[in-house]
Structure 1
Amino acid sequence: MSWQHIDLIKVKDVGPRDGLQMEKAFIPTEEKIKLINALSKSGVSAIQVTSVVHPKAVPQLVDAEIVMKNIERQSNVKYSVLVPNERGAERAVPMQADEWELMHSVTEAHCRANSNKSVDESLKEHEKVVKIARQNNITVQGGMATALGCPFEGRVSFERVLYTAEAYYSMGIRHIGVADTIGCADPKLVYTTMKQLIDKFPDVEFSLHLHNTRGMALANILAGINAGVFNYDASIGGLGGCPYAPGATGNIATEDLVHMLDLMDLHSGVNLNELLSISKDVERLVGHELESAIHRAGPSYQLHAAPDAQVKLDH
């Protein structure tokens, strides 16, 4: 594929919600706000700020209203909130998010584990959310978890993915995110799935949400670009996971993604140096090593001083 025709790869950082929700220790509210403000100035096109999930389910996000009220919004950044159900939608209205994100598992087993609902029951609930969003002039992104692999059902048929995509389309949704929730996808699967979706829904803007559990995320992103997907979720430092996916680790690190795009002259508008500075603060904040390769090793073009002489070894 020729890359010259690609004007922009949009990068959404989901660390403040998808990443921090997996942290066991509570992150102070002021630190979350500080992180979001820093990401807002890094050049990312969007930030998934928080979720209105029940506080008992995800205690880390109990401060959703305070965070949304106090962040410093930038005009060139879209701020989204994950909205799981009708009650969450009512709670989300005053937050004035630019977009609500739905998350629905395309497989029955994961849908039951994640929402305690069947696939059809979950989609019916999302119809209520979309109705409230329309009443308040808020755009909605449909999300499809386990679309590229399920920890309970294995490889997912395209028919299951299409079922949810068609349901979202019938609700009037024209932005749909496709997730490799457990990081088990391969480039061939990503390419064929996304190519088929784009062919069937040419007026829908698709995005990919890829976990790096098995080190395949960057390869899968290239497959997605080849298929015509130019919107990607990533998480600062590679934070994240899924509480209902055994063994799942974090999302592709935002800095790893931007580093690759920079090397390939694919414009994202994101400043890698800013991200690396933020990731240092994030590591101190969460108190453990990050998954990000570029955070650990630095950019591939970073040079080091050569030694004056070869070290002599004693035999």
Structure 2
Amino acid sequence: MNLPSKITICEVGLRDGLQNEAKILQTSEKLEIAKDLIDAGFKVIELGSFMSPKAVPQMADTDELYKQLNQVDEVELRALIANKKGVERAINCGCRKVKINVSASRGHNLANLNMTPEESVAGFKEIVDMAAEHGIEVSGSISMPFGSPWEGKIPLEDVQSIVEAYLNVGVSEISLSDASGMAVPNQVYEMCSKMKERYPQVKWWLHFHNTRGMAMANIIAAMQAGMTQFDSSFCGLGGCPFVPGAAGNVSSEDVVHMMDEMGIETGIDIVKLIELSKKVRQMVGHDTDSYILKAGRSKDLIKK
């Protein structure tokens, strides 16, 4: 197998995981989680989002979280935004990296925003310009590039046109986000291979939901295509409220365990991560979709 020797994992549980929880954690609890993630070795963390507190009350304290945590050396703390207001909040609380998102599903985008995906991205220019004036980096995300409940399979050309729209407004770090959980390995390999070849200037991230149990296989397929940056969520928390039956993100401890067993470096301490995830499971008050939290590490089963 043609696999990399190391990968980078962005922990998205504090944003994509907790925003889907009925129980809203205290800022002090989130701060504890963030510090534990940094201690475990994560170098990229999605700390929260600057969305309307009325729409996403779970993320209402993201500004305070940034203020209390401050900047951490050699750790990228990013947040999701939707508009210029998000940039303003990022400026005021010291956030240095924001992410914007658009759907690859034309039907979805038109229904929600009355715009094509390309028109949505073109509208991001003022956000990118404003962020740049204040030294804030901007990355972009494309939701449902591998499949959508509205259209089924998304044509590769549609995804490429969104990539080009992002590049036109100055965004060259892009995530392919399987929010619908419809991706399959051969499709992931083909799309990732073509994207890397056509857009070598792009810094790619892959974001897989484990809705149908395909996330780990899709990560392997993406690695074989040369991708080395992936999102995951502690405990496997998360989901997409706009997609029927959507389960959570792929579990961070499951991904790190698999990489450890395969000899692929992540820089993350699996023991510390498992302890953190156990703590989070207690905080949210329910069982989660994490194989490692249920079964433990393979190494722990070997008789001495």
Give the alignment partner of residue 185 of structure 2, picking from 180, 183, 187: 187
CA change 1:159–1:85 in 2 (3 A) is same
Moved more, 45-54 or 100-109: 100-109
CA distance in 1, matches of 2:44, 2:114: 29
Query: Which residue of 2 is the match for residue 220 of structure 1?
Result: 218
CA change 1:112–1:42 in 2 (3 A) is farther
Give the alignment partner of residue 168 of structure 2, picking from 164, 167, 170: 170
Query: Which residue of 1 is the match for residue 93 of structure 2?
Result: 95
- The residue type equivalent to 1:222 in the other structure is I
Kindly indicate whether the alpha-carbon contact (under 8 Å) linking 2:122 and 2:169 is maintained by their aligned counterparts in 1.
Answer: no
Structure having the higher Rg: 1
Give the alignment partner of residue 30 of structure 2, picking from 13, 29, 32: 32
Query: Which residue of 1 is the match for residue 126 of structure 2?
Result: 128
Residues 157-306 of structure 1: matches in 2 within 5 Å? 157-303=155-301
Residues 126-165 of structure 1: matches in 2 within 5 Å? 126-165=124-163
CA distance in 1, matches of 2:259, 2:236: 16
Structure 1 ranges of 4+ moved more than 4 A: 112-117
Kindly indicate whether the alpha-carbon contact (under 8 Å) linking 2:83 and 2:127 is maintained by their aligned counterparts in 1.
Answer: yes
Query: Which residue of 1 is the match for residue 7 of structure 2?
Result: 9
CA change 1:115–1:31 in 2 (3 A) is farther
CA change 1:62–1:112 in 2 (3 A) is farther
Kindly indicate whether the alpha-carbon contact (under 8 Å) linking 2:106 and 2:116 is maintained by their aligned counterparts in 1.
Answer: yes
3-state secondary structure, aligned to 2:300: coil
CA distance in 1, matches of 2:115, 2:157: 20
Deviation at 1:124, TM superposition (A): 2.9
Taking structure 2 as the reference length, the TM-score comes to 0.95
CA distance in 2, matches of 1:144, 1:121: 13
Moved more, 14-23 or 98-107: 98-107
Deviation at 1:115, TM superposition (A): 5.1
Kindly indicate whether the alpha-carbon contact (under 8 Å) linking 1:68 and 1:95 is maintained by their aligned counterparts in 2.
Answer: yes
Q: Percent of aligned positions with the same letter in both sequences?
A: 37
CA change 1:10–1:203 in 2 (3 A) is same
CA change 1:109–1:230 in 2 (3 A) is same
Deviation at 1:163, TM superposition (A): 1.0
Deviation at 1:258, TM superposition (A): 0.4
Deviation at 1:72, TM superposition (A): 5.7
CA distance in 2, matches of 1:299, 1:152: 39
CA distance in 1, matches of 2:117, 2:156: 15
CA distance in 2, matches of 1:44, 1:70: 18
Provide structure 1 residue ranges, at least 5 long, that are not aligned to the other structure: 307-315
3-state secondary structure, aligned to 1:17: helix
Instruction: Give per-residue Cα distances to partners, 1:99-150, cap 9 Å, x unaligned.
Output: 1111111112222466565424421332121111111111111100011111
- How many pairs does the alignment contain? 304
Taking structure 1 as the reference length, the TM-score comes to 0.92
- The residue type equivalent to 1:211 in the other structure is H
CA change 1:116–1:248 in 2 (3 A) is farther
Kindly indicate whether the alpha-carbon contact (under 8 Å) linking 2:189 and 2:225 is maintained by their aligned counterparts in 1.
Answer: yes
Kindly indicate whether the alpha-carbon contact (under 8 Å) linking 2:90 and 2:96 is maintained by their aligned counterparts in 1.
Answer: no
CA distance in 1, matches of 2:301, 2:5: 30
CA distance in 2, matches of 1:240, 1:31: 17
Q: RMSD of the TM alignment (CA)?
A: 1.6
Provide structure 2 residue ranges, at least 5 long, that are not aligned to the other structure: none
- The residue type equivalent to 2:235 in the other structure is G
